[in-house]
Amino acid sequence: MKISQLEGKRVALWGWGREGRAAFAVLRARLPSLGLSLFCPASEVEAARAETQGALDVRGEPTAEALASFEVVIKSPGISPYLPIALAAAGQGTVFISGTALWFAEHADADGTVRDTICVTGTKGKSTTTALVAHLLRAAGHRTGLVGNIGLPLLEVLDPQPAPAYWAVELSSYQTGEVARSGAHPQVAVVLNLFPEHLDWHGSEQRYIEDKLQLVTGAAPRIAVLNAADPHLAALSLPASEVVWFNQPQGWHMRGDIVHRAEQAVFDTRNTPLPGRHNRGNLCAVLAALEALGLDAVALAPAVQDFRPLPNRLQRIGEADGLTYVNDSISTTPHASLAALECFAGQRIALLVGGHDRGLDWTDFMQHMAHDVPPVEIVTMGSNGPRIHAMLQPLADAGRFGLHAAADLPDAMALARRALGEQGGVVLLSPGAPSYGAYRDYVARGRHFAELAGFDPDMISAIPGIGIG
């Protein structure tokens, strides 16, 4: 659906975060006569009315009946379409779309292709991978937009002048289905990996996987770049797309620390600024995607050396009193916590895990800790902290690692320092869980971690390269 098709319809916004504000700004500019309503929490109603100076009919939280009174509802990504009130309204004919869907529809050519666009999704590593795509495109001299879930809503960059030559778009599982619903086809779509996540939004692991894969199964990109090592991806059949595989011997893959293109050794990743082996492995996805665009990926690979790592992703924020503090606040799955641990193999580690409990299974984490354990002290915290603690207690009793229960992040930091003692080591915040409840988002959690460690949170929060450049 294009923005012009909203003219004359009954339209509401649902959610007044950055995405909602971006949608409001675009609709006021493009369709000034369009009447708009807004659903938001009761605590935000007065502020939204003041901010929009009467241009919005601001209401509180919606009911199914209220949603069903509109033909189109533009919802923010964090609001699940599987909520009972949304399903009930959809059953009565209300169409739910998002800023993501509007952006892709506006940028599609006559045949539906959104040219010169690389979309990236995956459970782990998608932000760094998308930023790497933009970094290498810019290194090749191309004006590039780094946008999307990485921190810049697509509708904030709907029609920039001059337009970029390429778009690098990060998409969360909340957004991938919206690309499919837009009717547009990305030129290149990259899927890195799939692990259970966001089950509270999607409702089940199966639906999470199906929604995530909509970027390639529903949106039918011209070229799909897929990880051959992921069993969910390896089983896919995509007859409407050209499929390029990475992490297999005939394509871009790692042998030890060396990136190869088939038999050709291309790049030694050992001294790159990429945090973690999984991110260095995702460099193969980046190079495969650039090659799919027709660029010389072999020539561009060395420019990785100038890449600046992103905040909150295995980010070394500093050292103090013999301790190194690493902020991996974006870690929201147990698999991400395991990947973070691997990065510091051989070092003494205090691992801080736990947060909002959305029912993820920690069995794989427990099994890994039973068989392949670095010298680690585990500190549990947050609403799912007691559940994780109880699961790990038998292993701790057997002497596999130290285990400590904290009430919150400040308490966890104190316990971590005490556990590592004068010998020092790494204090690693890699929670494996969302920040909801205790913090507004993972960025706020990372900033608090930096403050508690004695560092300026403003110095560690900016995302390098975001926007158009």
Binding site for ATP: which residues? 122-128
CA-nearest of 144, 163, 445, 156 to 312 is: 445
Residues 184/115, Cβ–Cβ less than 8 Å: no
Residues ≥6 apart with Cβ < 8 Å to 199: 205, 208, 358, 359, 360
Exposed e or buried b per residue across 296-325, where buried means at least 16 C-beta atoms within 10 angstroms of its C-beta: ebbebbeebeebebbbbbbbebbeeeebbb
Look up residue 350 and give its two tokens.
Answer: 């205090």
Residues 462/362, Cβ–Cβ less than 8 Å: no
Residues 145/168, Cβ–Cβ less than 8 Å: yes
Cα atoms in the 13 Å half-sphere on the side-chain side of 173: 26
Q: Which residue has the tokens 């502020």?
A: 47
Binding-site residue set: 122-128
Q: Quick one: CA torsion of 269, 274, 280, 284, rounded to 10 degrees? A: -90
CA-nearest of 20, 182, 173, 185 to 101 is: 182
Report phi then psi at 324, rounded to 5. Answer: -100, 130
Q: Are strands 113-121 and 185-191 parallel, antiparallel or unpaired?
A: parallel
| CA pseudo-torsion sign 276, 278, 282, 284 | positive
